Amino acid sequence: KRSAGSRRCCAREGVRRLPPAIVINLARRSDRWSQVSRRLQDLGIAFGRWEATDGNHEDIPEAIVAKWWVHGEVRVDERFDRWYAEEIDVLVNDCYCMVKLSAGERGCAASHVYAWTSWLASMDANAKDSVSPLMVFEDDVVPSSNFAEFARAVLSTLGNDHPDVLYLGWGHWAAWRRVVKESGQSAMGPYGIVEAEYP
């Protein structure tokens, strides 16, 4: 069983009103830890380190992360939109293919799962009425210079809505995805909040 205490360190001082943050980092990648630490410190973001699960050296149960995923591509607005599902019988535009996850991909996914479940367990242990959000970064993240402002704007847009996962990345969103919140404006430009591509 994984312990939050052994995988997190104290958060550093940073921008107020942003949720606590962790960076997923393999123990053997101290170079990445140094780089991402500088990037996030320069932005004033408080963060701690979460030791990543090494898929090349640790056994990851399929109950935690599947070994295969289904991938199909659908042309939307002259772009290819990627769609993922857990079951082979899901068809998108009558085409799909199975892709085996690499050990590294499974380790990365397991790191996220263990971080989330540990965070939720720590919230339960503290007997809080509600679970506070947790920002999770990977150690190769290169946030824009105004990421903190953008993240605050998105969180403000959500108000009292508390999604299970809020992906603050960029992607070509498919037109059929449900819009959760109408577009807002930040220093980075307009943004919208849509449902995730993962079912």
DSSP states along 119-166: HHHHHHHTT-SSPPP-EEEETT----TTHHHHHHHHHHHHTT---S--
105 three-state secondary structure: helix
Give the separation between CA 108 and CA 70, rounded to whole angstroms.
18
Confidence at residue 149, expressed as pLDDT on a 0 to 100 scale: 86
The larger pLDDT score, comparing residue 39 to residue 169, is at 39
Closest to 5 measured CA to CA, from 119, 134, 128: 119
**Confidence band (pLDDT; 50, 70, 90) for 21?**
very high
Contact of 154 with 184, CB cutoff 8 Å = yes
24 three-state secondary structure: strand
Exposure string of 29-42, with b = 16+ CB inside 10 Å and e = fewer, is: eeebeeebbebbee
Same domain for 47 and 8:
yes
Residues of the domain holding 177? 144-199
173 three-state secondary structure: coil
Instruction: Say if pTM beats, i.e. exceeds, 0.85.
Output: no
- 59 inside domain: no
Q: What is the DSSP letter of 58?
A: S
Q: What is the mean pLDDT of residues 93-118?
A: 83
Same domain for 128 and 173:
no
Same domain for 35 and 22:
yes
Average per-residue pLDDT for the chain: 72
Q: What is the mean pLDDT of residues 30-35?
A: 97
Same domain for 31 and 18:
yes
Confidence at residue 51, expressed as pLDDT on a 0 to 100 scale: 97
CA 123 to chain centre: 19
Q: How many domains does the chain have?
A: 2
- 95 inside domain: no
Q: For the sheet with 68-76, list strands across it.
A: 79-85, 68-76, 97-100
Q: What is the mean pLDDT of residues 90-111?
A: 74
Asked if residue 14 has pLDDT above 80, the reply is no
- 197 inside domain: yes
Give the separation between CA 165 and CA 157, rounded to whole angstroms.
15
Same domain for 197 and 153:
yes
